[in-house]
Structures are given as structure tokens and as C-alpha cells.
């Protein structure tokens, strides 16, 4: 059976971390706050005519990483249902 990369990561992280649902929810909240903060910083930086393009790209990359991590955590909260 072939696993998608996302499924593999979910299994790997859930086995490695073995954290409670409440801890996952708390981490999701923290990452969502960081994601929103990054969004605001990116918007302000993009409006500045003299902005640093490299810094802007790094911030956008970090924002995407946060989004991926959030997706993984949210999927951990979904109970496994046998097919």
C-alpha cells in the first residue's frame, strides 16, 4: 500500500510526539497566531517601496511551512476510521 507523503508525515509525527489532543489544539492556536502575524508583516513589508525581496521571500516561505504544519496537526485530531 502506497502512502502519500502527507500520510507518512502524520504517522511519523504522531508516533514520535505522542501528544494529547489538548496539546495539539494548543499548538494549533499558537501556530495560527504566528501565521496571522506573519501575514500582517508580509503585507506591511510588501507595501514598502524599499522592501528587502529576500526577506519577503523568507517570510512567505515560513508562512507556507506554518500552514503545512497546521494541516498536519489538524489531521492528527481527526480520528482514524477503518475503511
What is the pTM (predicted TM-score) of this model? 0.70
Q: Specify the 3-state DSSP secondary structure of 28.
A: helix
Contact 14, 76 (CB under 8 A): yes
pLDDT of residue 13: 63
- Burial (CB count within 10 angstroms: exposed 0-12, middle 13-18, buried 19+), residue 35: middle
42 part of a folded domain: yes
Question: What pLDDT was estimated at residue 54?
Answer: 93
What is the gyration radius of the CA atoms in the chain, in angstroms?
16
Question: Structural domain tally of the chain?
Answer: 1
The whole domain housing 28 covers 5-76
To which residue does cell 501528544 refer? 19
In a domain, 19, yes or no: yes
Which mean pLDDT values do the consecutive 10-residue runs of the chain (83 residues) have?
Answer: 65 65 93 96 92 93 96 87 68
Q: Hunting for cell 508562512 — which residue is that?
A: 63
Q: What is the pLDDT of residue 1?
A: 46
Amino acid at each position: 500500500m502506497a502512502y502519500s507523503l502527507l500520510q507518512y508525515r502524520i504517522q511519523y509525527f504522531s508516533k514520535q510526539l505522542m501528544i494529547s489532543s489538548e496539546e495539539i489544539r494548543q499548538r494549533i492556536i499558537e501556530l495560527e497566531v504566528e501565521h496571522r502575524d506573519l501575514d500582517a508583516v508580509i503585507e506591511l513589508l510588501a507595501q514598502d517601496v524599499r522592501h528587502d525581496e529576500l526577506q519577503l521571500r523568507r517570510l512567505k516561505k515560513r508562512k507556507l511551512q506554518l500552514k503545512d504544519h497546521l494541516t498536519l496537526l489538524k489531521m492528527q485530531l481527526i480520528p482514524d476510521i477503518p475503511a
